[in-house]
Amino acid sequence: MSLYTIGFTKHSAEDFFETLKSAGVTKLIDIRINRTSQLAGFAKGSDLPYFLRVSAGIAYEAIENLAPAKELLKRYRSKEISWEVFEDLYLKQIKSSGSLDTLNPKDFENSCLLCSEHTSEKCHRRLLADELHKLWGIQVVHL
């Protein structure tokens, strides 16, 4: 079983959807706190489910409680806290909230976690994927 991750920035729509199709993704799991920004372009939350379905036959699900809290993200983006502090606080957030306890591994099979960051290196999608790997032994592939 594989779990994929992807960020939409620096991707054309064609590249984004073809990458998902080529990987065999069957469901995109949106873990962004803000899915409505005009800056999201083709990945805007209200349009993305349609584009996924018609271009690639991929299902869509948004799981907001897996996104970092707005205040936490704001503090990191404004450089008030370092990546290391953000990482620690985000992991504490998802563990203490019980968010991980409500998840079912079958719901993540051949799914892809979506966030905005171009690479997974400093993105909460990598942190979440690493936690799911620890919990379930799921293989993680960053697209």
Task: State residue 11's pLDDT score.
Answer: 87
Determine the Cα–Cα distance for residues 22 and 36; give it in Å rounded to an integer: 27
Task: State residue 18's pLDDT score.
Answer: 95
Positive/negative CA dihedral, 8, 14, 19, 24: positive
Residue 75 scores a pLDDT above 60: yes
For residue 69, give its domain range: 2-142
Task: State residue 105's pLDDT score.
Answer: 94
pLDDT single digits (tens) 6-53: 999 888 999 999 999 999 999 999 999 877 665 557 787 788 999 999
Q: Assess contact for 23 and 4: CB atoms under 8 A.
A: yes
pLDDT single digits (tens) 76-100: 999 999 999 999 999 999 999 998 9
Number of structural domains the chain divides into: 1
Of the pLDDT bands very low, low, confident and very high (cuts 50, 70, 90), residue 140 is very high
Determine the Cα–Cα distance for residues 129 and 111; give it in Å rounded to an integer: 11
User: pTM here?
Assistant: 0.91
What CATH number is associated with residue 36?
3.40.1010
